[in-house]
Amino acid sequence: MLHAIGWVPLFPLLGFLVLVFVRMPARLAAWVGCGSVGISALVVFASALMYLQAPPEDGYQAITYGIWMSIGNFQPAFSVYVDTLTLIMLSIITGVGFLIHVYSAGYMVDDDGYARYFAYLNLFIAAMSVLVLADNLLLLFLGWEGVGLCSYLLIGFWYRDPENGAAARKAFVVTRIGDTAMTIGFLLLFAHFSTVNIPAILAAVVNADTTDTDVYVLIGLLLLGGAVGKSAQLPLQTWLPDAMAGPTPVSALIHAATMVTAGVYLIARLHPIFVQAPLAMHAVAWVGLLTLLLAGCSALVQVDIKRILAYSTISQIGYMFLGLGVGAWSASIFHLMTHAFFKALLFLSAGTVIFCLHHKQNIFDMGGLRTRMPLTFISFVIGCGSLASLPYITSGFYSKDEILLGAYNSGEALVFWGGVAGALITAVYSFRLLFIVFFGDPHTTPDKSPSLNMQVPLVLLGILSVLGGAIHLPLQNVLPLGTHEDSAHDHTPISVLLAVIPLLGVALAWFLFKRGRLGSAAWGQAQGAPSLVSFWRKGWAFDQLYDGLLVRPFVALANFNKKDVVDALYHGITQLAQWLHFQVSHTQTGNVRWYAGAMVFGVTLLTSAVVFL
């Protein structure tokens, strides 16, 4: 009966096709869009229950539906690989995805491209399910590029504004850099193991000779390249803040909850390669650490509500990478799940605020919304609490706690203390957002109230964000026992520290932004801000760096070679032919006697050639 899981990508795909090819009223489009994902979610939950009741003996089940292509011995199949990691990812994708679809039905209600929006969203769910279900690298790549395409389409959803199109292109091109590295990594894997089947590769890696790890280091670093592109980590993080140009539910689904965590999934899925290559593991941990600190600092000073959340997403995925890098595998996946809950909640709450304040996004235009939008306020408190990982009552605490414990047990003191500092920054920026938006003096009055289908997902995600920490993920058969599960040491002082840090951050935010003057609108102005603030606000000026280092030289080169040197040869051939043609066409005078003479001349020439040569 687990075979039914193959239907999970098909329902949204069918929904996509129907929405694209059939014209229908907006209400029906919403039903098709939400319904297809809802059915998929039900299939996933049923499959998960079935799987947990009777888990297969070797920890996973592979189901083949058909051969994709057949080239000699190379036969990648439409086959899925079901284990608990797959099921967890699928539950997040379809579950959170369904809630965001329902929310979108309310949020996008005034938009012209209603059916187009749901078509893209459905295609995204289909591609993302393929990505996590795939049991060979080729199918995984199909899903990987599919979600990239949907991300591009949805960032540029309001395509009439050229800025949105530029943001979409930027996201596509920057992730493409990572994808190229990943493709090379996949090809190396294929060259090394002569198969694209993931279980076969992993088994070969586990049984391989451990003395020669160079190739694993190389492959690991290349795969990390793909992961940092998709998951917006250093140095390819620049696309995610701009990706906020898309509709807010899209930011919640694609650029917070699911797609950007694909990199984490990729590394977790192929973890034996990284276990064999300690250097690649270190690289993952350090990429995560640097990203979470850099993005945290940038989030501290942003003034656009969605950009704050974007930087916090980059920072939280940094935590996941840190966890993967120190070997706290299941903790990372746990954080992936809780992050999907609370970040989707935060984005949808922010969306509600934006929706009700007629699309204002500057947090200094908001203020005092606590009494006017109580439900949104409560969801925001839960979301920010989870993001800041307030101890014991939020899900974010449990997952971040596990990651940092893993870092502590791995013995990498620098990584651990960096992560702790990041936790402090996280608490400060999340509560800065809360204080500025919901407390203080009101600047704008909400003129709309969210509809019921916007409120219900908020409530459900709020419940998940609180209770999600209690879920125990059954990952012990899939991922190796993490460093965080090592119970030989006494963790009490560290646990106390990790519980105190967020509270300290909240207190700091209170003094700085609620009592202090840093919460005033003057600090929101780009001018007059201290240079460090504007430097952080620009995201450590990475955009400017890449612009000067890569974009400008490339554009200059393209301008220089406008005429294309390679084309010159072919262009020359056509020009020569044309010139000859014009020369010969002069002989066509229309004079019959001239023609006769030419004929005689030609015949004489040919005859003499035959006779004398």
What is the per-residue binding string for other proteins in 533-572, x denoting contact by CB under 8 A?
Answer: ----------------------------------------
What is the per-residue binding string for other proteins in 57-96, x denoting contact by CB under 8 A?
Answer: ----------------------------------------
* Closest approach of other proteins to the CB of residue 591, in Å: 6
Strand (E) positions, 521-576? Answer: none
Nearest to residue 265, comparing CAs of 147, 388, 100? 147
Cβ proximity to other proteins: between 69 and 611 the closer is 611
The helix/strand/coil state of 377 is: helix
Instruction: Look up residue 362 and give its DSSP letter.
Output: B
* Closest approach of other proteins to the CB of residue 587, in Å: 8
Are the CB atoms for 109 and 451 separated by under 8 Å? yes
* Closest approach of other proteins to the CB of residue 601, in Å: 10
Nearest to residue 136, comparing CAs of 95, 79, 85, 189? 79
Cβ proximity to other proteins: between 545 and 600 the closer is 600
* Closest approach of other proteins to the CB of residue 585, in Å: 6
Which tokens is 539 given? 């995201």
Cβ proximity to other proteins: between 527 and 588 the closer is 588
* Closest approach of other proteins to the CB of residue 594, in Å: 9
Backbone φ and ψ for 539, nearest 5 degrees, come out as: 70, 45
> How far from the centroid of its chain's Cα atoms is residue 203's Cα?
28
Report the site for other proteins in 568-607 (rule: CB under 8 A).
585, 588-593, 596-597, 600
Backbone φ and ψ for 546, nearest 5 degrees, come out as: -65, -35
* Closest approach of other proteins to the CB of residue 562, in Å: 36
CA distances from 479 to 197, 251, 336, 594 (A): 18, 29, 15, 91
Cβ proximity to other proteins: between 517 and 593 the closer is 593
Cβ proximity to other proteins: between 470 and 592 the closer is 592
Cβ proximity to other proteins: between 570 and 594 the closer is 594
- Look-up of token digits 């098909």: 10
* Closest approach of other proteins to the CB of residue 582, in Å: 11
Report the site for other proteins in 263-302 (rule: CB under 8 A).
none
For 251, residues 6+ apart whose C-beta sits below 8 A from its C-beta are 243, 244, 306, 309, 310, 347
* Closest approach of other proteins to the CB of residue 597, in Å: 5
Q: How many residues bind other proteins (CB under 8 A)?
A: 10
CA dihedral 365, 507, 503, 492 (to 10 degrees): 160
Which tokens is 563 given? 């005429």
Are the CB atoms for 163 and 103 separated by under 8 Å? no
Cβ proximity to other proteins: between 487 and 585 the closer is 585
Are the CB atoms for 457 and 103 separated by under 8 Å? yes
- Under the rule (CB under 8 A), what is the footprint of other proteins? 585, 588-593, 596-597, 600
